Amino acid sequence: MKLVAAALPALLATFVACGPEAPPPKKPEAPAVASGSDVERYFPLEQGKLYHYVTREGADEGMLVAKVHRTDAKHGELRLSNSTKRFVYASDGVTYDTGIYVLRAPVAVGTSWPGEHGGTTRIAAVDVSVTVPAGTYASCVQTVEEGGRVPGARYQQTYCPGVGMVLLEATAPGAEARAELKRYGLPVKIE
């Protein structure tokens, strides 16, 4: 069980002062794309958004950055530094392109499905409040996967409306990993 922590180069900003101050350019709006799935509010993939997570695995700290690419109303991707995760929105939930559910309807305590790690995932709580470096969120859904390929493993994820996954906690005998949302939004272009 290894939580991917990718090291990325630091963002360098150069400030240049030339003549009178010009009005700031308008940020391009990403086109709104929606699948129509009720679950999408907890797992929105909005074109161009970046998700920055701080990670901890044992004593090691790092970061994970994912960029959203929305291919159409029913398909999207999270592009990581070393891989791409593809997702499909269906009427009853959101799945990986392999068909394994990330989150399934109805969004109610007890809803369950075969999990990503070979165990059973279930919705353990709804209307959860959580605080992570990116802020405090309410009305969130918490899923738990137990069992599976790693004996004694437990994967707990918290999804918040309009944001997506804000917290991942993974434990197994003798191991712990955690990813917390630090920031998310459209990238800023500095010229």
CATH level 2 (architecture), domain 38-185: Clam (2.50)
pLDDT of amino acid 23: 42
- Whether the pTM exceeds 0.95: the reply is no
Whether residue 128 contacts residue 141, with contact meaning beta carbons closer than 8 Å, is answered with yes
Q: Which tens digit of pLDDT belongs to each residue from 8-63?
A: 222 222 222 233 343 444 444 444 678 888 899 999 999 999 999 999 999 999 99
| pLDDT band for position 3 (cuts 50, 70, 90) | very low
Examine the pLDDT at 122 and tell me if it is beyond 70: yes
Q: How far apart are CA 123 and CA 108, in angstroms?
A: 7
- Residues linked to residue 85 through DSSP beta bridges, in sequence order: 78
Q: Once rounded to an integer, what is the mean pLDDT over residues 75-102? A: 96
Q: How far apart are CA 87 and CA 150, in angstroms?
A: 24
Domain residue spans of the chain: 38-185
Q: Distance of CA 107 to CAs 122, 140, 142, Å?
A: 10, 10, 10
Examine the pLDDT at 165 and tell me if it is beyond 70: yes
